[in-house]
Chain A
Amino acid sequence: MSSSSSRQQVASYLGGLTVFLRNLGVAVPECVLDRYDTGEIGFQIEGTLPGWQDPKPAIVLATEIWRPAASGRYERVEYGYELTDHQAGRRRAFHMHHTDDFLARFGVLVHEHCEEVLGRPRCGHYYGLPVQNGYEAFNALLGHWGQAEPLGCGQLRCIE
């Protein structure tokens, strides 16, 4: 995806991202490109990973908000990509939201979450690098799925 896209391109990207997950065996319900009452467009997709299901399966989640730009195009202005692995009891996420606040206070637009023990983060927000799109995010997140190695939260720098 380029920095700005037509609505059709975003819809195509969403369909492609959904199929990308499904072909990996992730159960993803039918997806729809939503129109919001703010004039923005976006989507939320949640996928259930195969394997461990009891008491909860591993989940991936993608949320993106696209704001109208010039000439009928849209720019992605917020995102959230998440992996919550209940079997391993851990979570990893890439976020861009509340950008005005993060920019004013810390000089960053994006941040990350990392929980080696689910629900007990050693730091609420970590510095991170921008994620280009959902494919890049899920390639990174799914690399942790079902693997024994730690997430590596200790290598990240805490925003404080």
Chain B
Amino acid sequence: MQTKLFLSPVEVAVELSISPSTVLRLIHDDRLPAIKVSDRIYRIPVAAFEKYKAGSLEAPFVAPVSGATRPRPRIGAGEVIPEAIDRSARVRTA
């Protein structure tokens, strides 16, 4: 059985006994984590809502800096970079 992943603002409003507009205000104030599916549609991950209800949302912190150096990661490793097509040559031979 598929576990429910998201709640709509209306569903959260019902759960919290507040209005949907208040839920949207919480989202816009960054007090309730949500994902923006489109310009006007938000979804609240169930896991995020559980954290919110439990008062266990984390506060930002400063990440520690590693003591030792390590090799630099290679972003895009394995990607084949496309070759540019010489379009002028294509026109000349057409």
Listed in ascending order, the chain A residues whose CB lies under 8 Å from chain B are 7-8, 11-12, 14-16, 18-20, 22-25, 31-38, 40-44, 50-51, 63, 65, 78-80, 95-98, 101-102, 104-106, 124-125, 139, 142-143, 145-147, 159-160
Contact = CB atoms under 8 A, between A and B. Distances in A.
A97 B80 CA distance: 12
Contacts of B48: 23-25
B5 A33 contact: no
The 4 closest A-B pairs by CB, nearest first: A25-B47, A105-B84, A14-B63, A36-B72
B9 to A, nearest CB: 15
Contacts of B72: 36-38, 40, 42, 65
9 contacts: A18-B63, A19-B58, A25-B33, A32-B66, A65-B73, A139-B36, A142-B35, A146-B6, A146-B43
B57 interface: yes
Contact of A143 (B36, B51, B57): B36
Given A50-B5, A63-B75, A32 B84 contact: no
Contacts of A96: 75
Given A80-B75, A146-B6, A159-B82, A19 B59 contact: yes
A44 B38 CA distance: 28
Contact of B75 (A8, A97, A147): A97
Interface residues of B, number: 41
Given A98-B79, A106-B82, A147-B37, 12 more contacts: A11-B65, A19-B60, A19-B61, A24-B35, A25-B50, A43-B63, A50-B5, A65-B72, A80-B75, A97-B75, A143-B36, A143-B37
A22 B38 contact: no
